[in-house]
Amino acid sequence: MIVLSGGTGTPKLLMGLIRVMPEDELTVIVNTAEDLWISGNLVCPDIDTVLYTLAGMIDVRKWWGVQDDSFTTYQHLQGMGHLEKLMLGDIDRAAHIMRSELIRSGKTLTEAILEMARSMHIRARVLPMCDEPLATIIHTPEGEMHFQDFWIAHGGEPEVTGIRFRGIENAMPSREVMDALSSEDAVLIGPSNPITSIGPILGLPGFKDVLKNKHVAAVSPIIGKAPVSGPAGKLMKAMGYEVSSRGVLDCYGSVLDALFVDGTDDTDLGDAGGIKIMHTNTIMNGVEDSIGLAQSVLNYARSQ
Ligand code: GDP
Ligand code: FO1
């Protein structure tokens, strides 16, 4: 199975999937449009959360960073007046250093991530969506800013008047991503932000065309009229979508064959344009919930 992922909702589901299916049958294609360079190293928040989740190292309270990490370097830098945009843990920073050194030595981002995954004994195939650098730029009345500035420095507060993915026109799905798609029929869009996590993946030139011949299911990250966490609601609204599973359907449009919606969500989806709607518990407050949803998704995929 191929899973499209951001850095919170879908990793929660991956935690269940690796417990209900052979991990080496899983390929995860991960958003890179929130990546940024900090203090000389490339930070890939979504990829790192996926890697740490699969390696059993993720901090499940925050869904970013390594469990029980220290922040000694971050604090010393701060004390010397060098302020970093993200609070980087020491073990997390080691991963950024390794990745950046591999890239500086001439490896692609994909090659670097495959090597890091091997070093963490991860059996799933974790693939960045592309090798070219991309940036999610949020347009606000205060000016344009990188997604991480919007979300962290500005607390997600500014009004959003537009969103663009800088560099997407010159990017393409990597060879490894295309190879994975050519040998797998079932694609799952995890419960991730449809605009800033899945949007860049589906927006890569040619990506949606490849999905036309696949069985594509998604899990809605919106329950009722709000996301479980994060800025998905604000960003969907800014892009003209209803904040509901109806809006999620509209975001993904014709690529979808099925949508998993939370059992408590009574949004009227009408005939959903032929897309199969399945209601089940999609709230993952722990590994048991993740396993339950993973099993439902897997049963559906195997029945196709
Ligand atoms: P990001 O990269 O950190 O934004 O992470 P993602 O895009 O992967 O995930 C963010 C989305 O996950 C948000 O829109 C949340 O509503 C959704 N989400 C988080 N936890 C859950 C959950 O337990 N169930 C569902 N259905 N969605 C969730
Ligand atoms: N999110 C925060 O709200 N504050 C942080 O200081 C922070 C640090 C951080 C460090 C490494 C990393 O991989 C992610 C980090 N995140 C932090 C999460 C990140 O900003 C976003 O939630 C994701 O980019 C959204 O996909």
Tens-place pLDDT, residues 127-147 = 999 999 999 999 999 999 999
Report the atom number in ligand 1 closest to the C-alpha of 219: 26
Ligand closest in space to the Cα of 90? 2
Of 30, 43, 86, best ligand 2 pocket probe by most atoms within 8 Å of the beta carbon = 86
Q: In whole numbers, what is the pLDDT of the chain averaged over residues?
A: 97
Q: How many CB atoms lie within 10 A of CB 43?
A: 23
Ligand closest in space to the Cα of 195? 1
* Residue range 74-91, pLDDT digits in tens: 999 999 999 999 999 999
How confident is the model over 86-111, as a mean pLDDT?
98
Instruction: Specify the pTM.
Output: 0.98
* Residue range 48-66, pLDDT digits in tens: 999 999 999 999 999 999 9
Question: Which region, left, alpha or beta, applies to residue 202 given φ > 0 means left and ψ of -120 to 50 means alpha?
Answer: alpha
* Residue range 193-240, pLDDT digits in tens: 999 999 999 999 999 999 999 999 999 999 999 999 999 999 999 999
Chain centroid offset of residue 204 CA: 15
pLDDT of residue 270 exceeding 90, the answer is: no
CA of 13 to the centre of ligand 1 (A): 10
- Percent of the chain residues past pLDDT 90, beyond the cut: 97
Residue 271: per-residue pLDDT:
80
How confident is the model over 66-78, as a mean pLDDT?
98
Of 64, 69, 73, 77, best ligand 2 pocket probe by most atoms within 8 Å of the beta carbon = 64
Chain centroid offset of residue 252 CA: 15
| Bridge partners, residue 127, by sequence | 29
| Bridge partners, residue 113, by sequence | none
- Reference 114, options 105, 106, 123; nearest CA is 123
- Reference 12, options 301, 281, 299; nearest CA is 281
- Which residue has the least CA distance to atom 27 on ligand 1? 221
Q: Which residues contact 281 (CB under 8 A, 6 or more apart)?
A: 262, 263, 289, 292, 293
Residues 76-112 as b/e (b if ≥16 CB within 10 A, e otherwise) read eeeeeeeeeebebbeebbebbeebbebbeeebbbbbb
Residue 272: per-residue pLDDT:
84
